[in-house]
Every structure is written in structure tokens, then in C-alpha cells.
Amino acid sequence: MTTSTLPSEEKAKTSKTIEPCIIVIFGATGDLTSRKLFPALYNLARDKQLPSNFACVGFARREKTHEAFRQEMHEAVNKFSRVKPTDETLWKSFSNQIFYHQANFDDDQGYDSLNQFLQKLDKELGTSGNRIFYFSTPPSFFPTIVEKLSQHGLIYDVHKVKDKWSRIIIEKPFGHDLASGIELQKFVSKHLSESQIYRIDHYLGKETVQNILVFRFANSIFEAFWNNHYIDHIQITVGEEIGIGTRGAFWEEAGMLRDIVQNHMMQLLSLTAMEPPSSLRPESIHNEKVKVLQAIRPIDLSLFNQLVVRGQYGPGAIDGQGVIGYRQEKNVNPQSYVETFVALKFYIDNWRWANVPFYLRAGKRLPKRATEIAVTFKNAPGILFTQEGRQNEKNVLVIRIQPDEGIALRINCKVPGPSSPVQPVKMDFKYSSYFGLAPPEAYERLICDCILGDGTLFARGDEVLTSWKLISPILEEWNRLPPKDFPNYASGTWGPKAADEMMAKEGRAWRSI
Ligand code: BG6
């Protein structure tokens, strides 16, 4: 079986069969496991995309029986899955494959007993010794878990062991800056080869993100104007209405730049700007993405305030409901300098993109949830059709990643009638009205790809580190100069004034979404 969406990718993957395996989830009592991982596994089971010889073992510190864990996961799937577990027979057979293993992440005995337990499951369920270890813990535990797995023989040497495999899936952030990213990479590669490491960025599992490549490279018409001759600038927005919720402790360590920009947004940017890869093989795609990141001009610290804006939400209103500010959230320092909004301007110094600004903005507690890539084209020469001497609106192509997934093109049109005014209109393709089906969750695709051994939709080590290389100097500059005006935007608004001013100085504006 295959999960490919692209014809030539199909060819590359047909040789891959879904093999028996066990997934061990570290941090099994955490939020990610119940909100995303188990709903994804359940939907994969429902769609018959899991191997028939399969088990999932939750590994966490709390005492719990297998049965209690199954019950909790049933509730989680009920609450968070896109399809509710109403089919009892299906749930029963799925839940028979769920187990729980209690141990501390640094407890040697816990890994020995895990090893024995997994071997027992191999015998009972025919899972053939194949393993995926999913790191859904706080990042500080990653090195310990890797080391213990390796010491206790749970990670196989790919050069010596050929009849079974072991892989790890690591959640972001991979490191918290360039130095720690390099250190983690060095550490992890002491124990595993790159082909065993799956660095997850769930944005890559989204259908609309995968469609960026199809849109660009399965259509002949866009390539001709996808460059600095025709494009004025590109805006990428990741807006969220939600605040930081219960993740105060994590957020105080992370902030917007690390949580969204360093990974999700850099992925969107590199897919938008990359050259056509020579094939759809993971190496070709990763190579082209890395080339884009390498060509991004490092932030010039002497122009810092013209290129980078940070913000933090204060109290305000979302959908007419009052909400508290970041500094009032649980587990947050009341004087915190952590940013919940970032706006950035990048240039990509290569032939295709020379002098085309890429503007990125990401924020929590904005008026709406909206992720999009907007490509604004240069004006047509203002010779024939102008509006009382003014230029017409520029053409804008918008790729809506979520919600209301789709692609829209703003074009100028003649209004019917003798006076012939020109008016911008929108051509709009919506996934929901065309394809009808709700797309699968990103985690479904990514877990399935890892079982298949396909790393195309995961980040490669050099990709992550090249991104840190761009982001780390910004973090250092922010550390050096704490903000004086936080909180500087009210919840329910589009971020601090400085972000609008950054655009206005260049005669541009953020799109109103
Ligand atoms: C996660 C971030 O990676 O992505 C969260 O840690 C963010 O802060 C989430 O809310 C957004 O994901 P999605 O799929 O809802 O866009």
C-alpha cells in the first residue's frame, strides 16, 4: 500500500509495503498524545492504514494499568478525533493493540523491562521487532531517551541489523537555538543514522502544504512568472485566535519565533521559493529546500528594527468575549518578555528572488485563525486602464493553508456597462466545495509515512540547523535588548503598530484577512 498523492511519487513508493511494527510513545500522558497522536492512530486503523500486526505502547512516568490507559485514550479519541469511535467492534480491536509501560525517562530498569515487554508483544502479535519511538516529551528529555534506548539495545545499527528496523520521531523544537540544535544533532547522530531520524513538523503533513508543490510544479502556467520579474512581494501569515492556553511553562521557554517561525513558517517559505526538484525523492526535495534557506540574507543587525518586530498580547476581546493578556496566563511570569507575535522581512539572495521581500507574520490572539501565503504581483503598466490616474489593484494569488482551504486569484475586470470602470474580482477554488471530504489530519499522514520509512515530509538535520542559523541572531538581539513596550497589542487585534509601520514605510500593507 502507499499513501502517495503524486503520480511519480507513487512510482517511487510502490516498493514500500507497510510492515508490522510497534510504536512506543514517550510522554503518553501528555496533551499531544491525547489531542493528536491517538486520534490519528485511530483514524489510520479505521482506514486500514495501520499494519495488521501492530501495537502502540504508551510510556510515561505515572502509574497506570493497560486498561486505564485504554479508557483514557478512548475518551481522548471521542473528544478530539475527526471521526468519533462509534463502531464498537473497531474500537475493541484497536484498543486490544494499546498498552502502557510505566517508567521514568532516565530509569535503566524501565528500559530493560520495556525491551522485554516489546519482545513479548513481538511473539504474541507478530510485530517482527520493528519499532518507532515517538518523542512527545518536553525537549529536555530527548537526549536522555535517545541514550537509554541505545544503551538498552532498542535502537538497531542500520549497518548491522537488516531484518528489522527502529526509527525515532522527534517533535519540534529540535534544539532551542543554533548551538543547542547542533549539539542535539551531534548527540542523536552518535546513536542513529539520519535515515532513522524523523523530525516532525506537522505543517508538512497538511494537504494544503503538500499541494504547494503540486500547484507550482504540476501546472505549466505559474513557473513563468514565479520570480522577481513579476512578483512584487510575498506575505506569509500564521494567525491564531487562541492564546497560549495551558502551555504557559512551555511558552515561557519557547515564544513565537521558536514555536512557529523557525519551523512551520520556514517550511512554508522554502516550499514557496524552492527550485523544481529533480525528482520527488526525499533527497531532491530536501536539497532544494535547504538551498532556499541558505540563500536567505542574514538579518542585518544595523537595520534590525526595520526587519524584525516582536509583540506580546495584552487583555482584549476575541469574538466579543473578554480575554486576559499573556502576562496573566497561568505559569507565565507577570513581567515576561516572551513574544507572542513576530513580523519579519527576509530577502532570498538568488537569481529567482533577488529584491523580492518576503514578509512573515505570526501571532497568537489575532482576530482570526488564518494561515496563508499571498503572492502579490507587480502592477501592469498604468498606460491603458487606470482609475482616475491611479494604478489598478495589484493581482494577488492567495494559497489558503487553513481554514477554508483553497486558492484564490485577484484579477481586475471590466464592470458591465458603458462607463467601463475596472474592478478587482476574485477567482476562488475551495477544497471543501470541490473535493467534499474533510482532509485527514496531518499526523495521520506523517505517522503512516514513518511506518513506510518515507522521510519526504519530515525535516532533515541540515534544514533545521540552517533555519536556526537565521533565527538565532534574532533571539540573541532580543535577549540583549528587552522590549520596553510589552504588552504592545490588545488581544483580538492584528499585532503591534510597529508591524504595520514596517510595511507602510515601504508603501505596502499587510493583507486584511
Ligand atoms: C504547534 C504550535 O506546532 O502548532 C502551537 O506549538 C500552534 O502553538 C499549533 O497552535 C498550530 O497548529 P495547527 O495545525 O492548528 O495550525
Q: Is residue 410 part of a domain?
A: no
Residue nearest to atom 5 of ligand 1 (CA): 259
Q: Is residue 391 part of a domain?
A: no
pLDDT of residue 385: 81
What is the grid cell recorded at 376?
Answer: 502579490
Annotated catalytic residue, options 101, 202, 233, 264: 264
Q: Is residue 413 part of a domain?
A: no
Distance, in Å, from the CA atom of 99 to the CA atom of 32, rounded to the nearest integer, reads: 17
pLDDT of residue 16: 64
Whether residue 232 sits in one domain with residue 154: no
Whether residue 318 sits in one domain with residue 245: yes
Q: How far is the CA of 258 from the centre of ligand 1 (A)?
A: 12
Q: Is residue 351 part of a domain?
A: yes
Length of the chain, in residues: 513
| DSSP string for 291-340 | HHHHHBPPP-GGGHHHHEEEE-EESEEETTEEE--GGGSTT--TT----S
Residue nearest to atom 14 of ligand 1 (CA): 203
Q: Is residue 111 part of a domain?
A: yes
Distance, in Å, from the CA atom of 44 to the CA atom of 442, rounded to the nearest integer, reads: 12
Residue nearest to atom 9 of ligand 1 (CA): 260
Whether residue 220 sits in one domain with residue 101: no
pLDDT of residue 150: 96
pLDDT of residue 7: 37
To test ligand 1's pocket by mutation, which of 36, 170, 202 has the most ligand atoms within 8 angstroms of CB?
A: 202
pLDDT of residue 389: 73
Q: Is residue 194 part of a domain?
A: no
**Counted domains in the chain:** 2
Give the C-alpha distances (Å, rounded to integers) separating 43 from 94, 126, 127, 164.
Answer: 10, 22, 20, 26
Q: In sequence order, which residues have a C-beta less than 8 Å from that of residue 31 and are 6 or more positions away?
A: 246, 247
To test ligand 1's pocket by mutation, which of 82, 264, 313 has the most ligand atoms within 8 angstroms of CB?
A: 264
Atom of ligand 1 nearest to the CA of 251: 8
Whether residue 153 sits in one domain with residue 211: no
Distance, in Å, from the CA atom of 180 to the CA atom of 188, rounded to the nearest integer, reads: 12
Whether residue 337 sits in one domain with residue 255: yes
Q: Is residue 406 part of a domain?
A: no
Q: How far is the CA of 342 from the centre of ligand 1 (A)?
A: 15
* CATH number where 20 lies: 3.40.50.720
Distance, in Å, from the CA atom of 252 to the CA atom of 427, rounded to the nearest integer, reads: 42
Whether residue 222 sits in one domain with residue 157: no
Q: How far is the CA of 444 from the centre of ligand 1 (A)?
A: 16
Whether residue 135 sits in one domain with residue 224: no
Residue nearest to atom 4 of ligand 1 (CA): 260
Atom of ligand 1 nearest to the CA of 203: 14
Whether residue 352 sits in one domain with residue 498: yes
Residue nearest to atom 6 of ligand 1 (CA): 259
The amino acid present at 408, given as its one-letter code, is A
Whether residue 85 sits in one domain with residue 227: no
Q: Is residue 115 part of a domain?
A: yes
Domain that holds residue 23: 7-171
Atom of ligand 1 nearest to the CA of 238: 16
Give ligand 1 pocket residues (Cβ under 6 A). 240, 259
Whether residue 249 sits in one domain with residue 163: no
| Residue 94 burial class via C-beta count within 10 angstroms: exposed 0-12, middle 13-18, buried 19 and up | buried
* CATH number where 209 lies: 3.30.360.10
Whether residue 220 sits in one domain with residue 161: no
Sequence-ordered strand ranges (E) for 366-405: 370-377, 396-402
The amino acid present at 414, given as its one-letter code, is K
Q: How far is the CA of 40 from the centre of ligand 1 (A)?
A: 16
Active site residue 176: no
pLDDT of residue 214: 94
Give the C-alpha distances (Å, rounded to integers) separating 505 from 2, 6, 295, 298, 500.
Answer: 50, 42, 25, 21, 9
Q: How far is the CA of 259 from the centre of ligand 1 (A)?
A: 8
Hey, is 51 helix, strand or coil?
coil
Last residue of a domain, one of 171, 193, 216: 171
Atom of ligand 1 nearest to the CA of 201: 3
Q: How far is the CA of 202 from the centre of ligand 1 (A)?
A: 8
Residue nearest to atom 15 of ligand 1 (CA): 240
Q: How far is the CA of 201 from the centre of ligand 1 (A)?
A: 10
Distance, in Å, from the CA atom of 122 to the CA atom of 171, rounded to the nearest integer, reads: 26
To test ligand 1's pocket by mutation, which of 206, 237, 260 has the most ligand atoms within 8 angstroms of CB?
A: 260
Whether residue 209 sits in one domain with residue 152: no
- From first to last of its 513 residues, the chain has per-residue pLDDT tens of 333 343 334 334 444 678 999 999 999 998 899 999 999 999 999 999 999 999 999 999 999 999 999 999 999 999 999 899 889 999 999 999 999 999 999 999 999 999 999 999 999 999 999 999 999 998 889 999 999 999 999 999 999 999 999 999 999 989 999 999 999 999 999 999 999 999 999 999 999 999 999 999 999 999 999 999 999 999 999 999 999 988 898 899 899 999 999 999 999 999 999 999 999 999 999 999 999 999 999 999 999 999 999 999 999 999 999 999 999 999 999 999 999 999 999 999 999 999 999 999 999 999 999 999 999 999 988 778 877 777 888 999 999 998 989 999 999 998 888 877 888 999 999 988 888 877 788 999 999 999 999 999 999 999 999 999 999 999 999 999 999 999 999 999 999 999 999 999 999 999 999
Atom of ligand 1 nearest to the CA of 242: 10
Distance, in Å, from the CA atom of 265 to the CA atom of 358, rounded to the nearest integer, reads: 11
Atom of ligand 1 nearest to the CA of 244: 8
